[in-house]
Amino acid sequence: MKRRTFLNLSAAAGSATLFTPSIIKAQESFPSGPVQLIVPFDPGGGADRSFRLMAPFLANELGVPVNVVNIAGGGGWVAWQQTAQWDAEQHDHMLGTMNFPHVFSYLDPRMQRPETIDSFNLLAWHSLDPCVWCVRADEDRFTDFASFIEYVQANPGDIVISSTAVGSDDHMGVAFAEKFIDGFDVRTIFSNGDSQKIQELLGGVSDVIAANVGYMTSFVESGEMRWLTVLHPDRYELIPEVETFAEVTGEENVSFAGRSFVVANGLAEEKRAVYLEAIERVLNDPEYIAQEEAMNNNLMFLVGDEMNALIQDTREYVESVEFWEAEA
């Protein structure tokens, strides 16, 4: 099997909604008021759903209300550009969220972005939700992933795939296939979030949806869709019946929505520690874990060297795909 990716997952263990903590804990001085939790996408997607679920737990730990605020646009970059410019004093009551590999779209020379990963004060990794491809349950042109590949190769340009923005994890997986699988010629629709992609697939506008396991599970369980392949190093434990991309093609196509937290550059270490400790407690809260597991979202708390290693692996994957060449 040829290996073109470098992700070592085994080494890693707008609108606003107000959440008020059920128990107000005594705080010495920080945070002294509501915290804004910034989600860089429209409401209703996988990241938005997960962080809205987390918000009341985080509010309970911090002892202050937590506002989930959506700032959509630019595949996440409308929010991230603001995050990179946050002031340590003025924006100390703001928590940003960041998705990998999405943020590495700055590597696309067409973006001409001055920011890099070093422009952000990364706090902790939150979760990892593998990419998955699904089709409508009544799709009869192919029965499994092998016959899907054969169909695509025999009918170039016939298949339409709904993906999120250019440079997203969904798009990265499709771009990888286009680059490394002979005869993989499809048309890609870049949609405005998960809800629109689902409408496109179920409405017959597209033939395949590129998304994430957690968000697609309910549609498979309801009988509206069926799994096609998962973009994971090996069979994903939450859907072990689904073949990996590599099992069929021999190419290890690994992509995921990796969600993380960021804070303002230069934030005082004691304030940073308050956020970090609260996040860690939430990610170890059995009730929160159970609610995320019910949505097939895989929590993964990482900090420091472990987080940085996974981020570097992800960057190397993006650089190997060079999705901007496929779009040129």
> Could you give the CA distance from residue 136 to residue 29 in angstroms, rounded to a whole number?
53
Give me the residue spans of the domains in the chain: 9-129+256-327, 130-249
Yes or no: is domain 9-129+256-327 CATH 3.40.1410.10?
no
- List average pLDDT for each run of 10 residues in the chain, which is 328 residues long: 49 52 54 97 87 96 96 92 97 97 94 95 96 97 97 97 93 96 96 89 97 93 97 95 97 95 97 97 96 90 96 94 76
pTM: 0.87
CATH code of the domain occupying 130-249: 3.40.190.10
pLDDT score at 25: 42
| CA–CA distance, 99 with 106 (Å, rounded to integer) | 13
Q: DSSP labels for 148-180?
A: HHHHHHHSTT--EEEE-STTSHHHHHHHHHHHH
Q: Kindly report the number of other CB atoms within 10 A of residue 54's CB atom.
A: 26
Lookup: tokens for 18: 């107000």
Q: Do domains 9-129+256-327 and 130-249 have the same CATH topology?
A: yes
